[in-house]
Amino acid sequence: MPRPKLPRRLQFEPNVYYFKPRGIPLSSLTEVVITKDEIEALKLCDYESSDQTICARSMQISQPTFARIIASARRKVATAIINSQAIRIEKSI
């Protein structure tokens, strides 16, 4: 049985939850889902240009965990751009 996921400190709530390539109908696109953790990591590390250690501290997680989250987020965004896929950001409950 895997270890339970600890709650993370997420402060960013996006205004838009979907991005898609222009000129392609949504019905013909596959989508990539970005989790709440991943969008927070992208915002802190890439948008705000913070160091991974500071970002991890801000999210109240370890730096190796943050590194895995940011790598996953970057891979998903790159995949969506290269393969002309839609990006859906997971909504908070």
CA distances to 45, 62, 71 from 18, rounded to whole Å, are: 21, 29, 20
pLDDT (tens digit per residue) in 67-87: 999 999 999 999 999 999 999
CATH architecture of 20-89: Orthogonal Bundle (1.10)
Question: Domain map of the chain by residue range?
Answer: 20-89
pLDDT in tens, 10-49: 777 777 788 999 998 988 999 999 999 999 999 999 999 9
Are 86 and 29 spatial neighbours (Cβ–Cβ below 8 Å)? yes
Say yes or no to pLDDT of 53 above 90: yes
pLDDT surpassing 90 at residue 92: no
